[in-house]
């Protein structure tokens, strides 16, 4: 599952960095027809939770919101199936925006899990031709560095199935 810390004690809260925090799908060669996922948006105090959105794109530049939930949705996982009605969607993303209240010291998180992204079934999809990419030729062998960021983002937690 992937999650955004929407609230917590001062050392775990994202405040004042409230997002938006974006989780992108890969760019698909086939068009997206349906997205299925589970989400969990629980706020112990029922007023510090943020918003989770699912957005689509046909060109990778402009995005349209196709699903949204805001506020406390209860302390359980909820399933969602979103049918894509726009032709030629090549990518989707989840956008989490957390609350803005500094005193959000209760537990509130936005999470998604068990994501399935299915292709367009009717064969009428014409994905755009991706632009060719070039990479510079390295001049020396260097050790990779770890990316760092001063703002919070989606966190990934992998769980084993038993």
3 has pLDDT over 50: yes
Please report the pLDDT score of residue 57 as a whole number.
95
Q: Within 13 A of 124's CA, how many CA atoms are on the CB side?
A: 5
CA distance linking residue 102 with residue 41, whole number of Å? 19
86: tokens are: 């726009």
Given a contact cutoff of 8 angstroms between Cβ atoms, the answer to whether 41 and 32 are in contact is no
The tens digit of pLDDT for each residue in 45-103 reads 766 688 999 999 999 999 999 999 998 899 999 999 999 989 889 999 999 987 765 55
């Amino acid at each position: 599952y992937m999650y955004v810390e929407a609230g917590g004690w001062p050392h775990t809260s994202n405040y004042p960095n409230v997002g938006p925090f974006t989780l992108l799908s890969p760019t698909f060669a086939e068009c997206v027809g349906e997205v299925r996922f589970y989400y969990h948006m629980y706020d112990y105090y029922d007023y510090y939770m943020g918003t989770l959105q699912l957005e689509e794109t046909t060109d990778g530049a402009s995005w349209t919101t196709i699903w949204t939930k805001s506020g406390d949705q209860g302390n359980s996982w909820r399933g969602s199936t979103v049918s894509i009605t726009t032709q030629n969607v090549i990518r989707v993303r989840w956008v989490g925006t957390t609350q803005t209240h500094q005193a959000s010291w209760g537990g509130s998180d936005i999470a998604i899990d068990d994501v399935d992204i299915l292709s367009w079934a009717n064969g009428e999809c014409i994905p755009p031709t991706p632009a060719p990419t070039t990479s510079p030729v390295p001049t020396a062998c260097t050790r990779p560095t770890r990316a760092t960021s001063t703002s919070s983002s989606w966190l990934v937690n992998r769980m084993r199935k038993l």
